[in-house]
A = this chain, B = another copy of it.
Amino acid sequence: MAAVYVAGVGMTKFGKSSQTLVELFCEAATSALSASPIQEVDALYIGAMNPEEFTGESNIAAQVADALGISGLPALRVETASSAGAAALHAACHAVASGYYRRVLVLGGEKMTHLSTSAATRILAEVIEQQERQCGATMPALAAMITERYRKRYRLSRSHLQRVLCLVAIKNHLNGSRNPYAQFQQPITEEAYLSSKLVSTPLRLYDCSPITDGAAAVILTAEKTEVVISGLGQATGPVGLRERKSFTSFRATRIAAERAYRMAGISPKEIDFAEVHDAFTPFEIISTEDLGFFPAGKGWRAAEEGKTAIEGELPINPSGGLKSRGHPVGASGVAQVVEVVRRLRGEAEAKLKREPSRALAQSTGGLGTNNLVTILERSERPQAQNPWAPAPARSKPLQRQKSAPASVSEEGRIETFTILYVTPDGFLPPLALALIRDRAGQLIMAQGEDVSHLKIGREVYLRQLDGSYVFTVKSHLLKVREALKQLLRRLPSLPAGGKRPRSRKES
């Protein structure tokens, strides 16, 4: 089993591009090869989430090999939703470690900006569990519901939470403003953040990573270079929100990180900086907890205290992250590694407080459903004899009886909620969405009849409507009923001999 090294990295500028997806891949590949001692490769691994629907292209691996003039070489595409780039990198590492290939070109990329926001949102939402999607849930809506739950669990006031998220956004935009490859090159102010539109309460536009075109490239080799890949870990998590034990942590990140640390033989304390998947600002905070950098529920405080700033004790997303560098979904997992390698080599623009020697990249597929962690380090440290960890704990496949919410009881309680302002096609904003726990303990995603009176823990009535679920807050209903009763009492009594007797006869 061979160790796997990085021989070269490169990427396109992220943003809105007039190039085709294949051209973006070629540009990233060329930039990595031109800066690498290795010019020839044995195989091509591509990470892309959904070129079929984003650009109408199928067979992308053969197309890119063809365009690069290396048709004849093996080429394949790996997909794990928005972490596809990282998954392609890991699969390529396995191939190099097996000895089957010695040099592999890994590309990640996506082309998205030519589509309308609603079209891109719809495609991205296909990763969401079906019942939740049917209610109109989008990725920002689910992220918002997780955020509301985090706020409640760790007792942050709404304004305090907003201040923390704003600090993360400001930090990442500041970092991105120093990164020539970033989509957004300008720092943002607190005023700009606060005046940005609400996407899904409590998340604003500046809490969400943008829609982006771009590609990134990493050349892997079995021959020693100055940067080695020392830890790899991957894990999946339940697709539906309603099947999770925790809404404030991603179990897939925790398992993936534990595997990567074990393989690298280190603890989270030995990481000098990290690129994490901040598709939404609260996810950066949750990731820093799941990765073991800060205890659960303390990530927000670390962000507030500046620990994760570029000059802090553990810089997070010194490149600007997905938030500011941009998020061409299939590219992000590879781009994170490009940024890490540049910084480990001392090539990044803005410097950290101390010269880093070891870093981590964390990529998320879907709503934390397929996450990968990669640890890279300067290769001065002698590598372990066998850099590959023993196989992780095995699991026995056991086809589950899906907890089909068929017999949902008619009452329940709000576990978390959001008001979605940027809705997918077919849903009018504002759209109240909540995860309801019914009397039997089942979780059901449902649309609210009204956007007011929403609060975690509130009792609701639930009913089925067109295959989906609708909820009404009880206290709201009780209040309405009370108001109506009072109104009735104040009305003059009806004259005797009204319509009632006649209608009785008719029936």
Which A residues are within 8 Å of any B CB, using their own CB? Answer: 1, 26, 29-30, 33, 39-43, 49-50, 52-53, 56-63, 65-81, 87, 90-91, 93-95, 97-103, 105, 123, 126-127, 232, 234-240, 243, 251-252, 255-256, 365-366, 369-370, 386, 388-389, 391-392, 394-400, 402
A221 CB, nearest partner CB in chain B, Å: 10
Residue pair A100, B59 in contact (C-beta under 8 Å): no
Measured between beta carbons, the chain B residues less than 8 angstroms from A81 are: 58-59, 62
Contact of A56 among B26, B65, B98, B126 (CB under 8 A): B126
Given the known A-B contacts A95-B94, A100-B232, are A72 and B252 also in contact in the complex, defined by CB atoms under 8 Å?
A: yes
Contact of A255 among B60, B72, B402 (CB under 8 A): B72
Measured between beta carbons, the chain B residues less than 8 angstroms from A105 are: 397
Residue pair A100, B389 in contact (C-beta under 8 Å): yes
Residue pair A236, B397 in contact (C-beta under 8 Å): no
Residue pair B102, A391 in contact (C-beta under 8 Å): yes
Measured between beta carbons, the chain B residues less than 8 angstroms from A50 are: 52, 58
Q: How far is the CA of A91 from the CA of B98 in the complex (A)?
A: 10
Q: How far is the CA of A50 from the CA of B57 in the complex (A)?
A: 11
Measured between beta carbons, the chain B residues less than 8 angstroms from A59 are: 80-81, 126-127, 239, 365-366, 369-370
Measured between beta carbons, the chain B residues less than 8 angstroms from A402 are: 67
Q: How far is the CA of A65 from the CA of B396 in the complex (A)?
A: 11
Residue pair B62, A80 in contact (C-beta under 8 Å): yes
Measured between beta carbons, the chain B residues less than 8 angstroms from A236 are: 61-62, 65-66, 70-75
A27 CB, nearest partner CB in chain B, Å: 8
Contact of A126 among B1, B52, B78 (CB under 8 A): B52
Residue of B nearest to A372 (CB): B74
Measured between beta carbons, the chain B residues less than 8 angstroms from A98 are: 1, 93-95, 97-98, 388
Measured between beta carbons, the chain B residues less than 8 angstroms from A42 are: 391-392, 394
Residue pair A70, B103 in contact (C-beta under 8 Å): no
Residue pair A103, B391 in contact (C-beta under 8 Å): yes
Residue pair A77, B79 in contact (C-beta under 8 Å): yes
Q: How far is the CA of A105 from the CA of B91 in the complex (A)?
A: 15
Residue pair A67, B389 in contact (C-beta under 8 Å): no
A211 CB, nearest partner CB in chain B, Å: 16
Residue of B nearest to A46 (CB): B79
Q: How far is the CA of A57 from the CA of B79 in the complex (A)?
A: 13
Residue pair A33, B397 in contact (C-beta under 8 Å): yes
Measured between beta carbons, the chain B residues less than 8 angstroms from A370 are: 59, 61-62, 75-76
Residue pair A386, B94 in contact (C-beta under 8 Å): no
Residue pair A237, B100 in contact (C-beta under 8 Å): no
Q: How far is the CA of A220 from the CA of B106 in the complex (A)?
A: 25
Residue pair B397, A41 in contact (C-beta under 8 Å): yes
Measured between beta carbons, the chain B residues less than 8 angstroms from A52 are: 50, 52-53, 126
Q: How far is the CA of A88 from the CA of B139 in the complex (A)?
A: 28
**Apart from A59-B127, A72-B236, 10 more pairs, CB < 8 Å:** A52-B52, A59-B366, A68-B397, A69-B400, A75-B370, A76-B87, A76-B370, A77-B80, A91-B95, A99-B391
Q: Can you give 23 A-B contacts (C-beta < 8 A)?
A: A29-B397, A40-B395, A41-B395, A43-B234, A59-B239, A59-B365, A60-B79, A61-B80, A62-B127, A62-B239, A68-B398, A70-B395, A72-B236, A72-B237, A73-B236, A75-B370, A76-B91, A76-B370, A78-B78, A93-B98, A94-B98, A94-B100, A100-B388
Residue pair A73, B400 in contact (C-beta under 8 Å): no
Measured between beta carbons, the chain B residues less than 8 angstroms from A75 are: 80, 236, 370
Given the known A-B contacts A70-B396, A77-B80, are A49 and B58 also in contact in the complex, defined by CB atoms under 8 Å?
A: yes
Measured between beta carbons, the chain B residues less than 8 angstroms from A90 are: 76
Contact of A394 among B40, B62, B123 (CB under 8 A): B40
Residue pair A78, B77 in contact (C-beta under 8 Å): yes
Measured between beta carbons, the chain B residues less than 8 angstroms from A76 are: 78-80, 87, 90-91, 234, 370
Measured between beta carbons, the chain B residues less than 8 angstroms from A94 are: 91, 94-95, 98, 100
Measured between beta carbons, the chain B residues less than 8 angstroms from A69 are: 397-400
A368 CB, nearest partner CB in chain B, Å: 10
Residue pair A386, B99 in contact (C-beta under 8 Å): yes
Residue of B nearest to A97 (CB): B98
Residue pair B99, A99 in contact (C-beta under 8 Å): no
Measured between beta carbons, the chain B residues less than 8 angstroms from A397 are: 29-30, 33, 41, 68-70, 105
Contact of A399 among B30, B56, B238 (CB under 8 A): B30
